[in-house]
Amino acid sequence: MASERRAIVIGDVHGCLDELQDLLRAAGAGPDDRLISVGDLVCKGPDGLGVLDWAMTTPNVEVVLGNHERRLLKHWRRGTLSEEKTYDADVYRQLGSRYDECMRFVARWPLTVSGPGFAVVHAGLDPEKPLERQSEADLTNLRRLPGTGRPWYESYRDERLIVFGHWARRRPVVRRNAVGLDTGCVYGAALTAVILPERRFVSVPARRAYRRKEKWDDELAEAA
Ligand SMILES: [Mn+2]
């Protein structure tokens, strides 16, 4: 019987190319694996162009749109440059003359990527709606549900495993039907991937802290 193709879902890279390469090595990633990024390949970290280059030139890579790419894309489509975040200028500097080429590439990224029994989104979803009816804003930005203020995944009841990033914790969120992979590499913690269907976690330490983080939201990861 042919074994199911592995999917290696990779947490928020934020320009940390060295750690991405460490992680791919640690996971034993090869050309037969599906490599799926939760998005936010760029911004905050040192080498956004290097990471985009990896995604552009590696045929088995799929990326879902992150909130940072969504912001860059919105400005690119308007013909403006974003000044919404202090680090946006760094991204433009990193992309340099390849800015247009990079934005054309990012413009093709979907909001979700699916596989057998799982779906990957950048941030979260409204537990009351099917995946096909989620808003772009929720998929790229949602952390806590309006009203209760609780994390979206605590109210998510579906069987389908949702793998997400966006919410940096020192440890991954691991639940029956939801896995959160942002372990704050850009803040000096770790870059994490989950290998499906076996659900094996692989993590590599950040080589250094590229940005400071004042406070970590770890309390809920502990409770999960
Ligand atoms: Mn994000």
**Residue 18 neighbours by CB under 8 Å, 6+ apart:** 47, 207
Domains and CATH numbers, the chain: 7-223 (3.60.21.10)
The whole-chain average pLDDT of the chain stands at 95
Stated pTM of the model: 0.95
The alpha carbon of 182 and the centre of ligand 1 are apart by a number of angstroms equal to 9
Q: What is the pLDDT at residue 98?
A: 98
Listing DSSP states for 133-162 in one string gives G--HHHHHH--B-TTT--BGGGS---SSEE
Taking the C-alpha atoms of residue 149 and residue 144, their distance in angstroms, rounded to an integer, is 5
Q: How confident is the model at residue 224 (pLDDT cuts 50, 70, 90)?
A: very low
Q: What is the pLDDT of residues 193-208, one digit of tens each?
A: 999 999 999 999 999 9
Neighbours of 130 (CB within 10 A): 9
The alpha carbon of 1 and the centre of ligand 1 are apart by a number of angstroms equal to 39
The alpha carbon of 150 and the centre of ligand 1 are apart by a number of angstroms equal to 18
H/E element holding 50?
Answer: helix 48-57
* 41's tokens: 């390949």
Q: How far is CA 173 from CA 142, 143, 151, 158, in A?
A: 15, 13, 11, 17
Q: What is the pLDDT of residues 166-223, one digit of tens each?
A: 999 999 999 999 999 999 999 999 999 999 999 999 999 999 999 999 888 875 545 4
pLDDT > 90 in the chain, percent: 92
Type of residue found at 160: R
Query: What is the average pLDDT across 74-101?
Result: 97
